[in-house]
Structure 1
Amino acid sequence: MATPPFPLVLSFLILLSLSSSANSYPPRSSKHAPRFLGKFSHLHQPTDQKYETRYFEQRLDHFSFADLPSFRQKYLINTQHWLGPSRLGPILFYCGNEGNIEWFAANTGFVWEIAPRFGAMIIFPEHRYYGESMPYGSREIAYKNASTLSYLTAEQALADYAVFITELKRNLSAQACPVVLFGGSYGGMLAAWMRLKYPHIAIGALASSAPVLQFEDIVPPETYYDIVSNDFRRESISCFNTIKESWDIIASKGEENDGLNQLTKAFHFCRKLDSSEDLSDWLDSAYSYLAMADYPYPADFLMPLPGNPIKELCRRIDSCPDGTSTLQRVYEGVNVYYNYTGTVDCFNLDDDPHGMIGWDWQACTEMVMPFASSKNTSMFPEFEYNYADDEERCLKDYNVKPRPTWISTEFGGHDFKNVLKKFGSNIIFSNGLLDPWSGGSVLEDVSETIVALVTEKGAHHLDLRAATDEDPDWLVDQRESEVKLIKKWLQEYYDNKRATFTA
């Protein structure tokens, strides 16, 4: 699901079409929603985890009997610590997101670290239409048009996982081995939804930073950008105000005769900007990703960043000498995200060369997430959500109309707490309140078995990252709580199996 922001420095940057809120430059009624992190999946992939890379032959359409070509789904497997079928060794299964599966494996150290404690097998399957798991044999054909892309849905991806798990367990004579699902961001949504749709396949799910409620009118559309804005406001009011003031200045400068050249030089782009909106999009992405990756220690999850990167960005903005222009302050600050190492001479704004990002298709069909920016509480330009704008764009790009109510029809969302209390179990929704996606997730316990683990200073699925010596106590405690809950699920499963066997 999902959508907010997601360089190399930006070679696949998915730009957001944000406009200024100056009176002379009225805001658009809507814009592209922010992206998740999948766009970074071709970057930062070194990993010391040991796994075998294998492929599984998948049906293209699980919900028809049409004679369609199959495709090879890539997956990573590690059985180093697995107890095996005779001892009912569990299977830890990460629901692959919108990108290369190696990146998610490298950035989900928690699963690798707990596998020895449970004697577990580890599986990381790749999501269809991403990485190497391309129907029709190639990305170019798979992404050709709406007809070939029509099988890129969350429902088909979940069916892939269900079929894969079933066949894997059968081939290993491990039908009785319990499966625990994991996922972060869109992958977290898939993990939660899979536990609900296929309860016989997996005994529980850890859904980290999973905005399963970011649809229709379930949460206010301003929530995402309000959280990003609050992350900056809590560090520095002056920093917040500088960023808020910059959008009108950028738009005004872009209308001047030599304005685009001046903006290009001021922000050190490698080629001349086509419009001031390109610069605004570039800054919007940086601020949003910084909120998602506002980790308490240095990390290169997206880009090489210092610990508490928003604090560092605001320190740079605020420490500029008196008389420094707003644009120069913003440039100094945004370098924390785009050039913290100081090795980049100029910045690129190149978009995806194929113009067919998989998530764009998903956002144009079923992953319709309303976003807006409020005038009073947001540091971003004001804009309202307008479904008609989404429909117009999607008809232009793919000749399809979005289905904004489908996800809540398929997976639920309205009256979520009461429904899950009656029909769901064994799901952990973990969120950090610094993460802008937390506003669309489950932040309160639903029942004794559907639990919300919320941390005030956590960012985007920080709990799934590998443990470090710099982890704060609250993060260590959060992960230990997750382990205890998973252990409880497994023990209950084993107790039930033992009772059935001895009855």
Structure 2
Amino acid sequence: MTASWLQLCLLLLPLLGASRGARNFRQIRNKIHRLRETETFRSFYTRVGFPKGALSYTPPAEGYITQPLDHFNRRNNATYRQRYWINEEFWQRPDGPVFLYIGGESSLSEFSVLSGQHVELAQKHRALLVSLEHRYYGTSINRDGLALEAITFLSSQQALADLAAFHLFISQKFSLSRRNPWICFGGSYPGSLSAWFRLKFPHLVFAAVASSAPVRAELDFTDYNKVVAQSLSDAVIGGSAKCLDAVTRAFRAVDALLQAGNGTQLEKDFSSCAALQGPDDYAQFVSNLADIFMGAVQYNREIQSNNVQQLCRIMSAEGTASVYEALRKVNQVYMDSMGLSCVDNSYESAVKDLSSTEVNPVGVGERQWYYQTCTEFGYYQTCEGSSCPFSPLITLQSQLDLCSRVFRIPVDSVEQSVRFTNEFYGADHPKSSRIIFVNGDIDPWHALSVLKNQSRSEIAIYINGTAHCANMSPSRPDDPPSLREAREEIAVHIADWLKSARRELGGS
């Protein structure tokens, strides 16, 4: 490895950010994306023994495969170039297994084949490591790909067909055979893809690990904020009943000011970039505040200044003038951590952001992902039920309106798409085999995943005290015992299945 390559990595990592005008959860997701890149960067260099070991290191191979834009209509000759990464460092030729890391709703980098539990397992089992960036994300998109007429080829079904074509490409490139069993890995939406790839293409994929995989599509995802409420009161991660009560009362105080038409006070107290212009902006405002807590729960322990313990310490602090003042402080701490001078609460600004067809080759693809929620999954995190600690202004209708405004997709079409997705994949009863579903009890997305063993080889691992995709990160000395045990259980199943593969597929 050259010094210039290292310098380039160090320069690029801090730039994987979001614009100032994004909603708070978009800011959080993009920061998590950057932090995970940095964490895998550090983990990799610790493993190779930087700087001495890195001098002889050969970077993974980056390449592009030409894919049909529409796998299901061969009369459509349009194509796009899809990015992949290959790491041969551990592979034992010719019969070593293949570990596939599946990309999702953000750009992919070389660290997808350099760090993480799947890489640790690949080192143990002498596997070839490959990863594939999801179509329409990162650089795997045509220049006009985000236009309304072009984005219609973005779907999980097309993505699975991409994976099948990639399987053939890699098999031909390395002269693979039945003696090279494939195991796929993914987390969050890619976790669902990992399970679905095994479900729909069992002749290609021998086994799958699906981490934090919301395999059940749901239009009105009310359970998300039920889990957030439970987590804010969970003493294991620094929550408490007092904290949850303080958060609930603080949002009631905000709602009271909105109902009284006192938006000016809220604009000042919570550093709004502009005046709140009516109900749509009010909903955007309370959503931004709720995002701080939702993000802290979903990604607990990943952002030092925005985790459950930190927020509950502020909300429950003795001597605070009021829960409203505590909420103001939470907002300020969040802004400071994100480098924001104000918060964009404009609904029209959100519509403008999602309507932009400019392709961004790094970070999270917000327009693309919202399109997928409108056409496949729903997943709208609402707050109209009594168990939600935030504002009832966070409604299903307010989120469905974006499908209509941005993509011209009517509400009944969204509902039909969600039903079809569950029929097509089997929701949280997929009826497959050799899949490990891994979830943390803090992660709100576990409510849409598989939490109980479905069969002898459809296995559910439920981790106490962990959040979204925690098991996928590189092992660390401060990992809680429950996480270490879960990783060991995953490793045992992978080892057993690879032994079975050698027997079934004719390997040595």
Q: TM-score, normalised by structure 2?
A: 0.80
Pick from 325, 330, 339: which aligns with 1:328?
325
Mapped to 1, the partners of 2:289 and 2:297 lie a distance apart of 13
- The residue correspondences of 1:233-248 to structure 2 (distance < 5 A) are 233-234=233-234, 235-248=239-252
Change (3 A) 1:487 1:108: same
Change (3 A) 1:399 1:441: same
Counterpart residue number, 1:215:
218
Structure 1 unaligned regions, length at least 5: 1-6, 17-33
Mapped to 2, the partners of 1:9 and 1:165 lie a distance apart of 33
Q: For structure 1, which segment, 236-245 or 186-195, has the greater mean C-alpha deviation from structure 2 after superposition? A: 236-245
Shift of 1:175: 2.7
Change (3 A) 1:404 1:384: farther
Counterpart residue number, 1:373:
383
Pick from 87, 98, 102: which aligns with 1:95?
102
Counterpart residue number, 2:419:
405
Change (3 A) 1:185 1:66: same
Change (3 A) 1:335 1:456: farther
Mapped to 2, the partners of 1:464 and 1:359 lie a distance apart of 21
Pick from 484, 491, 495: which aligns with 1:487?
495
Mapped to 1, the partners of 2:122 and 2:114 lie a distance apart of 15
Counterpart residue number, 1:455:
463
Counterpart residue number, 1:196:
199
SS in 1 for 2:63: strand
Shift of 1:256: 6.0
Task: Say whether the 8 Å CA contact 2:86–2:113 is kept in structure 1.
Answer: no
Mapped to 2, the partners of 1:461 and 1:412 lie a distance apart of 22
Pick from 458, 470, 477: which aligns with 2:478?
470
Change (3 A) 1:210 1:337: farther
Mapped to 2, the partners of 1:178 and 1:292 lie a distance apart of 33
Shift of 1:14: 4.1
Counterpart residue number, 1:227:
227
AA of the residue aligned to 1:317: M
Mapped to 2, the partners of 1:497 and 1:109 lie a distance apart of 27
What is the percentage of aligned positions where both structures have the same residue? 25
- The residue correspondences of 1:383-462 to structure 2 (distance < 5 A) are 393-400=402-409, 401-402=413-414, 403-413=417-427, 416-417=428-429, 420=431, 424-462=432-470
Counterpart residue number, 2:136:
129
AA of the residue aligned to 1:68: N
Counterpart residue number, 1:111:
118
Task: Say whether the 8 Å CA contact 1:81–1:121 is kept in structure 2.
Answer: yes
Mapped to 1, the partners of 2:211 and 2:497 lie a distance apart of 17
**Residues 150-198 of structure 1: per-residue CA shift (max 9 Å, x gap):** 1000000111011011111112101331111101000100000111001
AA of the residue aligned to 2:200: K
Mapped to 2, the partners of 1:482 and 1:182 lie a distance apart of 11
Mapped to 1, the partners of 2:257 and 2:191 lie a distance apart of 41
Task: Say whether the 8 Å CA contact 1:100–1:131 is kept in structure 2.
Answer: yes
Q: Are 1:278 and 2:284 an aligned pair?
A: yes
Shift of 1:120: 1.1
Shift of 1:99: 0.6
Mapped to 2, the partners of 1:396 and 1:446 lie a distance apart of 40
Task: Say whether the 8 Å CA contact 1:45–1:106 is kept in structure 2.
Answer: no
Task: Say whether the 8 Å CA contact 1:109–1:467 is kept in structure 2.
Answer: yes
Task: Say whether the 8 Å CA contact 1:38–1:99 is kept in structure 2.
Answer: no
Change (3 A) 1:60 1:475: same
SS in 1 for 2:37: coil
Task: Say whether the 8 Å CA contact 2:105–2:369 is kept in structure 1.
Answer: yes
Shift of 1:276: 3.5
SS in 2 for 1:369: strand
SS in 2 for 1:190: helix
Change (3 A) 1:459 1:51: same
Task: Say whether the 8 Å CA contact 1:268–1:345 is kept in structure 2.
Answer: no
Counterpart residue number, 2:86:
77
Shift of 1:212: 0.8
Task: Say whether the 8 Å CA contact 2:222–2:385 is kept in structure 1.
Answer: no
Mapped to 1, the partners of 2:111 and 2:355 lie a distance apart of 23
Shift of 1:312: 1.7
Q: Are 1:358 and 2:368 an aligned pair?
A: yes
SS in 1 for 2:404: helix
**Residues 90-141 of structure 1: per-residue CA shift (max 9 Å, x gap):** 111111110111298299611222221011121121101111110xx31xx2
Mapped to 1, the partners of 2:139 and 2:251 lie a distance apart of 39
Q: TM-score, normalised by structure 1?
A: 0.81
AA of the residue aligned to 1:174: L
Shift of 1:476: 1.0
SS in 1 for 2:453: coil
SS in 2 for 1:130: coil
Shift of 1:233: 2.2
Pick from 161, 172, 175: which aligns with 1:173?
175
Mapped to 2, the partners of 1:333 and 1:492 lie a distance apart of 52
Mapped to 1, the partners of 2:169 and 2:100 lie a distance apart of 14
Mapped to 2, the partners of 1:14 and 1:107 lie a distance apart of 31
Counterpart residue number, 2:265:
262
**Residues 345-371 of structure 1: per-residue CA shift (max 9 Å, x gap):** 623427474535101111111112365
Whichever structure has more helix as a proportion of its residues is: 2
Shift of 1:373: 3.4
Shift of 1:263: 2.2
AA of the residue aligned to 2:37: Q
**Residues 465-486 of structure 1: per-residue CA shift (max 9 Å, x gap):** 1111111222111101101101
Q: Are 1:62 and 2:71 an aligned pair?
A: yes
SS in 2 for 1:101: coil
Mapped to 2, the partners of 1:196 and 1:278 lie a distance apart of 38
Counterpart residue number, 1:339:
336
Mapped to 2, the partners of 1:112 and 1:256 lie a distance apart of 55
AA of the residue aligned to 1:329: A
SS in 1 for 2:377: coil
Mapped to 2, the partners of 1:68 and 1:39 lie a distance apart of 38
Equivalenced residue count is: 448
Counterpart residue number, 1:3:
none
**Residues 409-451 of structure 1: per-residue CA shift (max 9 Å, x gap):** 21112xx54x61xxx1100000111000011111111111110
Shift of 1:45: 3.2
Task: Say whether the 8 Å CA contact 2:60–2:110 is kept in structure 1.
Answer: no
Change (3 A) 1:279 1:9: farther
Mapped to 2, the partners of 1:264 and 1:347 lie a distance apart of 10
Mapped to 2, the partners of 1:472 and 1:116 lie a distance apart of 23
AA of the residue aligned to 1:496: E
Shift of 1:9: 6.8
Change (3 A) 1:249 1:337: same
